[in-house]
């Protein structure tokens, strides 16, 4: 067995040469006795990693930005720190966030949600039954993650929203419960300067680590928030074209140009606009439309959109 005593993730080029690894962190003056208790089975180890152990320094989200240069370090990873980054980039770590083994085994089952359809004013209760299927008493850290597969802003593939540590005797089962509110489904929108819980489907996963999700349920959330459109001349055409509220305004201001993108006999609403043009800012469309819409009209279009409200 390899025993580690340190304060953060380390490289382990020798990992394949040992049957197991005991992470003792910084145990202080009583650390040696605690390590001995674990090695000889007097205590069942039950901790889980609160960080990701990468295989290489080059795999870390801050590798290109830290320590920086010219006295400046860029916080380039943004919200994609730890497991959020490794999941999104599909990089397999050495040990994932939340990972930890034990001298016993645990079974996960009977996941339930209190409602399959909620609003942003409801509280959702999520439950699961955890069983000790081994021969030794132990503790398990049960983790709950939420995924938003169709967010309007970029989000991690999943986000930890709760955990519960339970103690189980051999053969014993316990139910664990989690409560989720609107904030657990929300992201912060800097354009709106507020937290937004969008309508749509969310996936809820319960597991033993960020890479070991054992149970899944899908729920649907309906937002009751009323928001004003936060757009400007640098907003992409796509954002307005794919919104049922603002699409008619684009057709109103540039019908001839949209007509050139529409198959014969089809209404303008069914125009097949090239992805390159959809991903251009509004400020460019006086040029793309050869003057059909002016800069002043783009400003007027934006002002009209800002007076409109929508539910996310």
CATH number at residue 171: 2.60.40.10
For the chain, the farthest-separated pair of C-alpha atoms sits apart, in whole angstroms, at 82
Provide the sign of the torsion angle of the four alpha carbons 132, 135, 139, 141, taken in this order.
Answer: negative
- 23-77 pLDDT tens trace: 999 988 889 999 999 999 999 999 999 999 999 999 999 999 888 888 888 888 9
* Domain stops at, among 89, 118, 147: 89
Return d(Cα 241, Cα 250) in angstroms, integer.
7
Print pLDDT tens along the chain (312 aa): 889 999 999 989 999 999 999 999 998 888 999 999 999 999 999 999 999 999 999 999 999 988 888 888 888 899 999 999 999 999 999 999 999 999 999 999 999 999 999 999 999 999 999 999 999 999 999 999 999 999 988 999 999 999 999 999 999 999 999 999 999 999 999 989 999 999 999 999 999 999 999 999 999 999 999 999 999 999 999 999 999 999 999 999 999 999 999 999 999 999 999 999 999 999 999 999 999 999 999 999 999 999 999 999
Burial (CB count <10 Å: 0-12, 13-18, 19+), residue 239: middle
Give the residue from 89, 121, 137 where a domain finishes: 89
Q: Is 144 a domain residue?
A: yes
Asked if 211 and 278 sit in the same domain, the reply is: no
Identify the domain containing residue 194 by its residue range: 106-222
Residue 216 belongs to some domain of the structure? yes
Using CA atoms, how far apart are residues 53 and 60, in angstroms rounded to an integer? 9
Cβ neighbours around 244 below 10 Å, total: 8
Residue with tokens 């664990």: 176
Q: Are residues 74 and 161 in the same domain?
A: no
User: For residue 162, what are its two tokens?
Assistant: 């709760």
| pLDDT tens-place string over residues 5-27 | 999 999 899 999 999 999 999 98
165 plus 239 within the same structural domain: no
Same domain, 24 and 78: yes
Rounded percentage of the chain residues whose pLDDT exceeds 90? 90
CA 267 from centroid of its chain's CA atoms:
38
Q: What are phi and psi of 216, to 5 degrees?
A: -140, 145
- Asked if residues 179 and 190 have their Cβ atoms less than 8 Å apart, the reply is no
**Within a domain: residue 97?**
no
126 and 74 in a common domain:
no
Lookup: tokens for 65: 């930005």
Q: Do 178 and 210 fall within a single domain? A: yes
Nearest by Cα to 89 from 113, 64, 114, 121: 64
Task: Tell me how far apart the alpha carbons of residues 78 and 4 are, in angstroms, rounded to a whole number.
Answer: 30
Same domain, 74 and 113: no
Is residue 52, in this structure, part of any structural domain at all? Answer: yes
The reply to whether 11 falls in a domain is yes
> Which two structure tokens, joined as six digits, stand for 149?
């597969």
Whether 217 and 260 map to the same domain: the answer is no
pTM of the complete model:
0.89
Examine the domain organization and report whether 135 and 212 are in the same domain.
Answer: yes
Establish if 100 belongs to a structural domain: no
Domain co-membership, 205 together with 293: no
**Residue 143 β-bridge partners:** 163, 207
Note whether 207 and 116 are same-domain residues.
yes
For the chain, the domain total comes to: 3
Name residues whose C-beta falls within 8 Å of residue 237's C-beta, 6 or more positions apart in sequence: 250, 273, 277, 278, 279, 280, 281, 282, 285
CB 42 within 8 A of CB 48: no
Give yes or no: residues 260 and 297 share one domain: yes
């Amino acid at each position: 067995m390899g025993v580690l005593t340190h304060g953060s993730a380390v490289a382990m080029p020798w990992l394949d040469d040992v049957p197991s690894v005991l992470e003792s962190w910084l145990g202080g003056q009583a650390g040696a006795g605690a390590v001995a208790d674990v090695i000889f089975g007097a205590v069942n180890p039950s901790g889980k990693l609160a960080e990701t152990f990468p295989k290489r320094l080059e795999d870390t989200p801050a590798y290109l930005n830290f320590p920086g240069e010219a006295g400046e370090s860029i916080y380039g990873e943004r919200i994609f720190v730890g497991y959020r980054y490794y999941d999104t980039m599909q990089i397999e770590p050495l040990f994932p966030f939340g990972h930890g083994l034990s001298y016993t085994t645990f079974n996960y089952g009977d996941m339930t949600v209190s409602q399959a359809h909620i609003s942003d004013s409801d509280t959702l209760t999520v439950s699961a039954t955890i069983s000790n299927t081994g021969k030794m008493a132990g503790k398990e850290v049960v983790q709950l993650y939420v995924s938003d597969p169709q967010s309007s802003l970029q989000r991690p593939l999943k986000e930890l929203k709760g955990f519960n540590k339970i103690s189980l005797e051999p053969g014993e089962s316990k139910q664990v419960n989690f409560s989720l509110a609107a904030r657990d489904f929300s992201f912060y929108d800097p354009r709106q300067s507020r937290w937004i819980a969008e309508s749509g489907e969310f996936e809820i996963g319960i597991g033993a680590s960020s890479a070991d999700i054992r149970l899944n349920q899908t729920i649907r959330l309906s937002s009751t928030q009323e928001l004003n459109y936060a757009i400007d001349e640098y907003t992409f055409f796509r954002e307005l074209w794919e919104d049922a509220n603002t699409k008619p305004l684009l057709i109103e201001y540039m019908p001839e140009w949209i007509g050139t993108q529409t198959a014969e006999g089809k209404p303008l609403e069914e125009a097949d606009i090239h992805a390159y043009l959809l991903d251009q800012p509004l400020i460019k469309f006086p040029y793309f439309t050869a003057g059909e819409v002016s800069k002043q009209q783009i400003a007027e279009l934006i002002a009209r959109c800002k007076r409109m409200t929508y539910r996310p």
